[in-house]
Amino acid sequence: MTDADFVAALAAIVGAANVLTADDAKAGYLVEPRDLYRGRALAVVRPASTDETARVLALCDAQRRPVVPQGGNTGLVGGQIPDASGRAVLLSLARMNRVREIDSASNTMIVEAGVTLAAAQQAAETIDRLFPLSLASEGSCTIGGNLSTNAGGTAVIAYGNARDLVLGLEVALADGRVLSSLGKLRKDNTGYDLKHLFMGAEGTLGVITAAVLKLFPRPRAIETAFVGLETPAQALALLELAQGAAGGAVTTFELLPRIGVDFVLRHTPGARDPLADAHPWYVLLELSSGSPHGLADTMTSILENALEQGLAQDAAVAASRAQRDAFWALRERMSDVQRNEGGSIKHDVSVPLARVPAFLEAASAAVLRLEPQARIVAFGHVGDGNIHFNVSQPVGADKAAFLARWVEMNEVVHAIVMEMGGSISAEHGVGQLKRDLLPAAKDPVALAVMRAIKATLDPNGVLNPGKVI
Ligand code: ZN
């Protein structure tokens, strides 16, 4: 089939208006927001239904055309961007944006892949429920992408990763069949739980078209504190103290370094330091409760004990919604503002919780041996053992020359992660960025099983080739 015939066949499935071939129409899909990955595609195809998605996949499979699925195009590892060959079909799920059903009795909702995370959260709110997945890009990232990458974010400590929030899944397979298991069952032990194959597979095994999501009671009380402390070890001790006092009510526990707070204050108009003095480290601590009463007392008691035991030097509790938002902005802007400080070499890693302080110490020392003036901005989901170990360039250094050391620096940091029994990809996925790192980081038997599954579900290798494995 010629390119022109192939495009016509795609148009016959989704309508000519939903097959984009002009360069300017395709452009927004082929570069990710940070401009780190650029690709080319024969066409951007925008199906409106599961049936259309499945038929597009069957056609691409028959014609041996690579298919790159894409949701909100916010992924950080290049998983949603095609290669430079120009042969690929970029499959945008953006038009599949219906909330199919909300079921308050079962505490579930069925949403399509293109529903944004923010829209899913809002849909849950309409029946006074919480969909707890929460990430900085929630306004534009989509459920399909969240599940395909098994997204993490700031509520994992209480509610788990994306895969923990799913009861059922609908997936279009490479050959055009639809694996439909949109069940709402909390218990179902009828063999292999196939949905978990597709979550975290980054579109290499099938295309997620819809999901049954779990809903939770909405909190009736939220208490947010910004705590200054001296060491990451104190942060872990504070976590133990907080969970001992509040249990599952600890819904956020994020670590921030002073330099990261400085970056946010410097590059965010109106931002203020919540505490009078500077501290080497901070924790953003949030408690949520289904009961409207008593949570403020719990927070006060946690903070008093922490100060008494020397686990914290100072703390502020948000007294208003605006103050809470201001505390959160210090955390949520931390990634963005690094670009104002020049080049930044990133690591999205996790280690067992108890090893976090040792990891931070060892990795920081190793990075400073490589580049003594580097500015280490290590922050993130310390309650999950997940650190975004980012390294900003020295002040005044050449950005390109610094970024040229990306691989070298990754090797040093990842070696420490591996030695501590950690993961080199905690929550962002593998995509293009870490594909070649996987063989060294993954058990060879696990890799062989992954390849066998890939060969079974995608024998022609059309699904997101060049990603993950
Ligand atoms: Zn994160």
**pLDDT over threshold 90, residue 89:** yes
Q: Quick one: average pLDDT of 220-244?
A: 98
Distance 246 CA to ligand 1 centre (A): 23
On the 0-12 / 13-18 / 19+ scale of CB atoms within 10 A, 443 is: exposed
Distance 348 CA to ligand 1 centre (A): 8
Distance 134 CA to ligand 1 centre (A): 10
Distance 349 CA to ligand 1 centre (A): 10
Q: What is the pLDDT of residue 299?
A: 98
pLDDT digits (tens, 9 = 90+) for 388-436: 999 999 999 999 999 999 999 999 999 999 999 999 999 999 999 999 9
CA distance 317 to 309: 18
Distance 159 CA to ligand 1 centre (A): 15
Distance 380 CA to ligand 1 centre (A): 6
Q: What is the pLDDT of residue 438?
A: 93
State the chain's mean pLDDT as an integer: 97
Query: 342-427: same fold as 221-332?
Result: yes
Q: What is the pLDDT of residue 69?
A: 98
pLDDT > 70 fraction of the chain, expressed in percent and rounded = 100
**pLDDT over threshold 90, residue 236:** yes
Residue 359: HSE in the Cβ half-sphere, 13 Å Cα cutoff: 30
Distance 154 CA to ligand 1 centre (A): 7
Q: Which CATH architecture has domain 99-217?
A: 2-Layer Sandwich (3.30)
**pLDDT over threshold 90, residue 136:** no
- Please say whether the beta carbons of 206 and 172 come within 8 A: yes
Distance 318 CA to ligand 1 centre (A): 23
Distance 122 CA to ligand 1 centre (A): 21
Distance 397 CA to ligand 1 centre (A): 27
Distance 58 CA to ligand 1 centre (A): 35
Distance 467 CA to ligand 1 centre (A): 21
Distance 128 CA to ligand 1 centre (A): 27
Distance 62 CA to ligand 1 centre (A): 38
Backbone angles phi, psi at 282, to 5 degrees: -135, 155
Distance 333 CA to ligand 1 centre (A): 12
pLDDT > 90 fraction of the chain, expressed in percent and rounded = 98
**Helical (H) or strand (E) element with 314:** strand 314-317
Distance 422 CA to ligand 1 centre (A): 16
Distance 427 CA to ligand 1 centre (A): 7
pLDDT digits (tens, 9 = 90+) for 181-193: 999 999 999 999 9
On the 0-12 / 13-18 / 19+ scale of CB atoms within 10 A, 150 is: buried
Task: Show the tokens assigned to 385.
Answer: 């053992």
Distance 457 CA to ligand 1 centre (A): 30
Distance 381 CA to ligand 1 centre (A): 6
Distance 117 CA to ligand 1 centre (A): 15
Q: What is the pLDDT of residue 346?
A: 95
Distance 77 CA to ligand 1 centre (A): 13
Distance 157 CA to ligand 1 centre (A): 12
Q: What is the pLDDT of residue 323?
A: 97
- Please say whether the beta carbons of 131 and 68 come within 8 A: no
Distance 378 CA to ligand 1 centre (A): 11
The third-level CATH classification (topology) of the domain covering 342-427 is Alpha-Beta Plaits (3.30.70)
Taking CA atoms, 49 is separated from 25, 53, 56, 98, 116, in Å, by 21, 6, 11, 10, 16
CA distance 52 to 286: 43
Provide the pLDDT confidence category of residue 230 given band limits of 50, 70 and 90. very high
pLDDT digits (tens, 9 = 90+) for 98-109: 999 999 999 999
Q: Which CATH architecture has domain 221-332?
A: 2-Layer Sandwich (3.30)
Provide the pLDDT confidence category of residue 35 given band limits of 50, 70 and 90. confident
**pLDDT over threshold 90, residue 371:** yes
Provide the pLDDT confidence category of residue 110 given band limits of 50, 70 and 90. very high
Q: Where are the domains of the chain?
A: 99-217, 221-332, 342-427
- Please say whether the beta carbons of 377 and 391 come within 8 A: yes
Residues forming a β-bridge with 38: 31
Distance 136 CA to ligand 1 centre (A): 8
Pick from 67, 84, 77: which is nearest to 30 by CA? 84
**pLDDT over threshold 90, residue 276:** yes
Question: How many of the other CB atoms lie within 10 Å of CB of 139?
Answer: 12
Distance 255 CA to ligand 1 centre (A): 11
CA distance 394 to 374: 5
Distance 101 CA to ligand 1 centre (A): 29
Backbone angles phi, psi at 16, to 5 degrees: -60, -35
